[in-house]
Chain A
């Protein structure tokens, strides 16, 4: 058999169709995904483990049967294991019909490699990719079939080194009609859902046509759609459809601007509370109240650290002295001048530059200096308000090691990126990776006036 490359967009059913075909025809196959097997060694060992029926368990402390790093070792072990398996299969096919005994049909073994596009990002991809594509020729065993599944088209795999091209098999994305069929399947009240789809399918298809994203968005929207109905089983007539449409219309616009995520459970409960509040007050279309809160938990000192990092990246270093003087009052009001024509052009150019360059880098000392200024400010303001639930008090004074730990955890969470070290100074520089929206949200949760400190050109 010649190797086959199955390709198409995400969530078009490639993996599920392949696996279903194998299960239906009852043929033996080995499945390995290049996302879970993220290096050549893990990929090779996983295939060998499956061929030799070895399961990783706590008995052997989760180790594989054979240690295999290089492609040359892999080919030798693979050949041995495949020959064993094939002789077993040939022996079985001679006996009683395999449908009775539950063993697989046929004498061929298939290797399925899923998510092949991840291999392109590996370190050794220039040797591993041609190796995988040429595996058929290297093994020279006609009883082995290779199937590759990929999200990207075959022309993204062209390399300098040639290889025998696999037979391409294309899975196109679903059209709107197909999507309608997919969503209508398994619905309890099909006429209600059909009227729902009439309303939402077309605008959402303009943004994305992927089934997983649409399913996440539709599930929450359908709950809102069927809210005013007391009886969920009824088939709607024209007048009811119109009512439901006007009910859902403001929500569609806001839902279109959301990224299609599946929300975690506590937030859903919070949403229902907010919903009841909303229905009592007058409804304003397009208002997104739930987006003012950040949906993960951070300690207060981590929040202050994040804000200081954002300010350090956003403002040029020369402004620090004036912005953060001892009284903590920002002086930016003093410097406002009337904007002339030339400075407007310069402003535009500078904005363009800012967009292209992205956030600037800053050394550790500057970050800590800003952090200390901000937290001392916060303490003063909190003292003035005489609030009881102080959490900042213990945090900022003297516990620098705590702050450094927070910094490394922010780096791990990709809020702050650690850049290369500057060769002159020899210290590492950091850079913020959060957007202004997130920084504003965090600042709002601490009641910190972030906009006063932001440098506007």
Chain B
């Protein structure tokens, strides 16, 4: 008994270690910058040259979500802050929060004030803030201090009039300043969205973050999931864990599994999320990762939500969906609750089913279908009418409906017959 408890405690510790590793972006992306032409070293080179040579620069980091753009950027910035502690200040903006110009300038002013221990006034107007920013740029330029602007979700800043981008890039060109503008975005064509005057002031430097190759992926998985030998865990437990892990990773089925997952989601971010789920399913009494953990994680990611919804429906709701399908087959352009009810009544009259319920119960089933989003209103403007009269449409195809009916327990045979017609 005591040994089992000890083993469980050990495996819990190992689990916590793995989970905290997987949630920490710094750890994940650090092994990648080994090679000299990786994005990390390129980015570091660009920023450090503009710091040392006192020039302006702008660059775009592009790549799908989860490929590590912001993580690599943070690594570079933390390294540079250690190298040149007094010469850099960083301003961070996010497109989701600060796409409005007023908001963005207020945030820039606030962060500048925090950096340089000045008092920030909340009631400063837009003009005050922009003048303050230009003044700060000039001062920092004279003092040989570089300001780095990190614009996350850059495509949001490129919506609308792009006033902020223009004023920022313009200030960089005209004022005697030292600034680097780094835009981070998931849209690979974001520079096409820029206006002509903004684009001309932007140096067209782009760094693409692509997904790693297959061997890199395998090495990465092994690196992340192996327990370190010098941690607080006992040596033989860690060695056995790593040995089993190696055997698992070289198993053919495991490789197939990873391939299936990566064919849908190919970025490191997705892979890490998958590993997190698999590791969380680890059996604490056994204390080691097994193939079953990964299989469970894969199946929980491969859900089919609409089929699950159909399985959760009651028989009356299935009737209503089949009625709607029949109305569509009859090529009725649009249908609402009452036309579905007439179809329901005609089915009952012709087939004498036992499932005939009153209108208010059917309305309740109809609203439940609306809530599950198996059907939806055709337009959103019809708030003038009550629910029964607004036209609706089915959100699942007839093949899906058919599959759902087949997998439904105790589905009445009449429904399948009606679908087949």
Contact = CB atoms under 8 A, between A and B. Distances in A.
A419 B365 CA distance: 27
B84 interface: no
Contacts of B391: 356
B23 A205 contact: no
Contact of B315 (A76, A207, A352, A356): A207
B404 interface: no
B336 A164 contact: no
B97 A156 contact: no
Given A357-B389, A420-B384, A155 B66 contact: no
A75 B97 contact: yes
Interface residues of A, number: 60
Interface string B297-323: 000110101101101101110000000
A206 to B, nearest CB: 4
Is chain B's interface secondary structure helix, strand, loop, or mixed overall?
Answer: helix
Interface string A151-188: 11111100000111101111011010000000000000
B263 to A, nearest CB: 17
A287 interface: no
A358 B389 contact: yes
Interface in A297-311: none
A401 interface: no
A417 interface: yes
A72 B65 contact: no
A235 to B, nearest CB: 30
A2 B368 CA distance: 31
Interface residues of B, number: 57
Given A71-B97, A127-B96, A168-B303, A207 B361 contact: yes
A85 interface: no
Nearest to A12: B312
Contacts of B314: 205-209
B8 interface: no
Interface stretch (A19-27, A218-226, A254-262, A370-378): A254-262
Interface string A58-102: 000000000000111001100000000000000000000000000
A350 to B, nearest CB: 14
B126 interface: no
Nearest to B318: A206
A153 B305 contact: yes
B300 A417 contact: no
A172 B384 contact: no
Given A151-B371, A213-B364, A259-B364, 16 more contacts: A70-B103, A72-B97, A131-B97, A152-B371, A153-B372, A208-B365, A210-B368, A258-B361, A352-B339, A355-B342, A356-B339, A356-B391, A358-B336, A358-B389, A431-B384, A431-B385
Q: Which 6 A-B pairs have the closest CB atoms?
A: A358-B389, A153-B305, A257-B358, A173-B312, A72-B97, A206-B315
